Amino acid sequence: MPKVKFTYALKRFFPDLQDGLIEAVNLTDALHEVDQRYPGLRSYILDEQGRLRKHVQIYLDGDPIRDRENLSDPIRSETEIFLMQALSGG
């Protein structure tokens, strides 16, 4: 199963947040699963039209995803999904 890991910054809003294995065959399902586990978290990652938020990044096995609009980048059963906030601003 893919493993999902979270930036520490999200712990402020989801204190119980823990990295873990999820059942998913694509990124959309993965985020749906994450949202089931931590209600509301999906809205921190995606906007209401399903696009990756401007200052958020998702890495798959260390590489940033390419499709920020539809999240069509493929994942495998052992993919590590890392949800990260972009380091911007001052």
Partner 1 sequence: MKKTLLIGTRKGLVVARKKNGTWQLGDVHHEGVPVSIAYADPRSNTWWACFDHGHWGVKMQRSVDEGRTWEEVTAPAYPEGAEVKEGVPATTRYLWAMQQGGASHPNRLWVGTEPGGLFQSRDQGSSFQLVESLWNHPSRVGGQWFGGGRDHAGIHSVVVDPRNEDRILVGVSCAGVFESKDAGLTWTVRNTGLRADFLPDPQAEYGHDPHILIASPTDPDILWQQNHCGIFKSSDGAATWQDISDPEGEANFGFALSVASDNAAQAWVAPANSDVTRVALQRKLCICRTDDGGKSWRTFRKGLPQDHCFDIVYRHSLVSDGDDVLFGTTTGNLFHSGDRGESWQVISNYLPMVYSLQLI
- Which is closer to partner 1, CB of 4 or CB of 56? 56
Nearest distance in Å: CB 1, partner 1: 26
- Is position 88 an interface residue for partner 1 (rule: CB under 8 A)? yes
User: Of residues 27-86, which lie at the interface with partner 1 (CB under 8 A)?
Assistant: 40, 43-44, 47-51, 53, 55-56, 85-86
Q: Least distance from C-beta 78 to partner 1, angstroms? A: 28
SS (H, E, C) the chain: CCEEEECHHHHHCCCCCCCEECCCCEHHHHHHHHHHHCCCCHHHHECCCCCECCCEEEEECCEECCCCCCCCCECCCCCEEEEEECCCCC
